[in-house]
Amino acid sequence: MAFILLSPVALNIETVHVTKGLPLDIKHEYLEGVVPFEMALVLRALISKGYFDVSYVNMRIHSWKYRDNKPVEITESFTDYIKQNAGRMWCLLCLHH
How many Å is the maximal CA-CA distance in the chain?
51
Confidence of residue 5 (pLDDT cuts 50, 70, 90): very low
* Cβ atoms of 26 and 61 closer than 8 Å: no
Note the pLDDT of residue 24: 67
Q: Which helix (H) or strand (E) holds 81?
A: none
Of 14 and 4, which is predicted with more confidence?
14
Full-model pTM: 0.69
Q: How much is the CA Rg of the chain, to the nearest whole Å? A: 17
Confidence of residue 10 (pLDDT cuts 50, 70, 90): low
Q: What is the pLDDT of residues 24-80, one digit of tens each?
A: 677 878 898 889 999 999 999 999 999 999 999 999 999 988 888 889 999 998 888
Q: Which helix (H) or strand (E) holds 29?
A: none
- Residue 26 and residue 40: Cα distance in Å, rounded? 19
Of 5 and 14, which is predicted with more confidence?
14
Q: What angle do CA 57, 1, 97 make, to 5 degrees?
A: 25
